[in-house]
Every structure is written in C-alpha cells, then in structure tokens.
A = this chain, B = another copy of it.
Amino acid sequence: MRAEIVSVGTEILLGEITDTNSSYLARQLPSLGIDLYWISQVGDNQSRLVEVLKRAWQRSDLVLTSGGLGPTEDDITREAIAEVLGEKIGVDPSLEQGLRERFSQWHMAMPLSNLKQATIIPSAKPIPNTRGTAPGWWVSRDDRIIVAMPGPPAELQEMWQREVRPALQQMSEAIILSRVFKTSGLSEAAVGEMVAPLLSSSNPTLAVYSKADGIQLRLTAKAASQKQAEQVIAEGEIRVRELLDRYIWGTDDDTLETAAGRLLIEKGLTLSVIEDYSGGWLAASITDIPQSPVFFRGGLVACSDQAKIALGVDEAIISRYGAVSPEMAQSMAEVARELLKSDIAISTTGLLENENEPAGVTYIGISDGENSRAIRRSRGKRRVTTTALLELRRLLTSSN
C-alpha cells in the first residue's frame, strides 16, 4: 500500500509551527507494512489544497491529511476533499446532534460556524474525536482511501491510535515488527563488523545507526501474522545478543536514564548528583523519569567556587588542583554522596564554552563510598550527561 501525507495549515508555511504530525504518522506506517512515498504541506487555500489532493488521489492508495477541520472559514479540508471527489457536502443530522450535545454539556450555545464540523460527503464515514469537536473523515472510494484527521497533535494522535491505526491494521497484508538495541562503548564500524553475518539477512533485516547516546541496531521482521513476526524477532534477538550482548544497555524506548534507574532499583541503591558543567541537566533528565523517586536522593548545582565551598567542597582542592580537575570531580561526588546520603554520587565539572580559552575538557566524578574516580571527556552538555549515565551503568554492572 502506497501512502502519502498532506498537512494543511498556513501557520506551517509561515514557520510558526513545525509539522510534527507528519513525522508522527511517518513513524507509524512501517509497522503496518505501508510505504510512505510523499509528504507535503500546503496552506489554508482551497485551490492549492485541491491541486495537492488531486495528485495524491491519483498516485497513492492511502492519503492521510491533518489539519483544516476547524469551524472557521479558513478550515477547508472537507470542502477540498468534496471538490476532488466531485461529491456534494451536507450536514449529517446525527453528527449535528452529537456536536450540540457536546456544547450543551459545556453549558455553551453552539456557534453556527461549528455546523461545518457536522458536514460529510456520501463516500465518507465520520471518525469520532474524543478530544475535540472536529470528527475525522474516513473516505473510501475506487479502492482508495483518504483519512482526514484534525491538526492539534493530541487530537490527531488519539484518533490515530483509537480508530485509524486499528482499521488500517486489519487491512494490512503483512505485519512488520521492529526491535531496537542500544549499545555503548563501540564505534559504528565495530558494531557493523561484529554483526556482519546478520546484515545480509532479508528477514529479519538488521540496520546499524549512530545516535547521540551510542550505536543502535534495528531488527525488523515481516510476517503474515503478529505471532509469526514476534517469532522472527525473538530468533533475531538471540543472534544479536550472542554477538554483542555485553554492549547492549537497553532496547526500544529505553533511555540511559530509565536503564540506569532500573539497575539502581534492582540493586536497591540510591543516587545523587552534583553538577558544575551540566548545570542541572543531569538532575532534570533523571527526575523526568517516573521511577526516580525510588532511587534519586537529590541534586546540587554548583557552578562557582563559592557554591562548591558552601556545599562542603574543601577549599584546598580548588587552590591545589583547580575547579576543573579529576580531584575536584571526585571531591564533588564525595560531598554530594555525604550531604544527600546516597549510595552513589556523580559529578560533572568543566568550563563553559563561552569562556575565553581553548577547547578544554570536562571531568565526570563518580563515588560509591569505597571508590571514587574521575573520567576525562570532551565538551558538550548533552555528551557529558550521556557519559555520566554510561559511567554510572559501568559501575553498576561491573560490581555484579
């Protein structure tokens, strides 16, 4: 099945919003076995939208639109679809009743303009919208489908997951499943060499990607049923893990934060952080995961000598070794561990990039009470928080 996405809205063409609906839908299609060939964005202009939809109707089996279903004059997606198909648009009594009920629940009179959202054409069926007043349209004619969805991402995603995706899944001939393996400590080339025997497999396929938090492998299976696809993935996973299990720190939606958190919880250990260079990003990324209250004891942000001393760092360390030194990184980790009473503490040090001095280094300190050590790394806040979490993982897995 050959698909095309059309996003409607002048605010996209003005750059006021980024069209994230397209990338959301694009990510969803491969697992349905649907090939996406084109994406386009067009403004709230009926003749240009009609031109784009006519072409899509000719060349694609499935057209997904987002936006242009609101109640105002410049919401023109319904009218444009009706024009492309040469069908008459009219108010559907049951849609109208549903809309009126919704407004009366809100104790509001329905503005006349909202009647637009109760219109339909003969080839279309309404798709319920649980999050807004604009129903979608499922248009089916001549072996082709147009699915019109609302523009607000929360409404589109809910409609997609509840209604559109299950309907497309039923029509799909093949099930496609993927599993992502996330590694650290290896280069892309090294991973490629290690899994070379699997790269030529046609089902499952294996692909290697370089990401900010390390090299990833994506295993993809295609099969006639969910069960068969799961079987192909499971067999593939065994082979991947035979080759590089010890470098894999997570799968699929795992992040370094969730993976490290899981290890800490398994071992019953607690964590605290103290940040100079990363300025709070490490604490913020850890507190963003729902499990953090179980293991996270707290964070300290100390970018100046004064703040470090106020929190308990020995002034002599600063004068003897400087604020960016392995000794300081270790000392900071020990201070956080004691002050916040955690089993393990991590620290980050380093001068900010805007200082007048050549590209320098950062140090990450880690302490578990028995040992403390510092790791030297190049700059970049995100890279330093990533390294800090990888070092934490290394500590937790090596003490197995």
Contact A23 B17 (CB under 8 A): yes
Q: Which of A16, A275, A284, A288 has the most CB of B within 10 A?
A: A284
Task: Check if B38 sits within 8 Å of A26, measured CB to CB.
Answer: no
When distances are taken between beta carbons in the complex, the residues of chain B under 8 Å from A290 are 352, 354
A 1-33 binary contact with B (CB < 8 Å = 1; else 0) = 000000000001111111110111111111000
Encode A352-379 as 1/0 by CB contact (under 8 A) with B. 1010000000000000000000000000
**In contact, A12 and B18 (Cβ under 8 angstroms):** no
Residue in chain B with minimal CB distance to A17:
B23
Separation of A16 and B220 alpha carbons in the complex (Å) = 14
- Copies of this protein in the assembly total 2
- Name A341's closest neighbour in chain B (CB-CB): B310
Among the stretches A104-112, A181-189, A298-306, the one at the interface with B is A298-306
A41 to B24, CA, bound (A): 14
Is A128 part of the binding interface, using a Cβ–Cβ cutoff of 8 Å?
Answer: no
Q: How far is the CA of A282 from the CA of B303 in the complex (A)?
A: 14
7 further A-B pairs in the complex, CB-CB below 8 A; given A18-B23, A272-B307, A283-B301: A22-B41, A39-B42, A279-B283, A293-B304, A298-B302, A299-B300, A299-B301
A interface list, Cβ under 8 A from B: 12-20, 22-30, 36-43, 48, 52, 272-273, 275, 278-288, 290, 292-293, 296-304, 306-307, 310-311, 339-341, 352, 354
27 A–B contacts from the bound complex (CB under 8 Å):
A12-B39, A13-B36, A13-B38, A14-B26, A14-B36, A15-B27, A15-B30, A18-B20, A19-B22, A19-B39, A37-B48, A38-B52, A40-B41, A278-B284, A279-B292, A280-B280, A280-B301, A292-B303, A293-B304, A296-B303, A298-B300, A298-B302, A298-B304, A298-B310, A298-B311, A299-B301, A311-B340
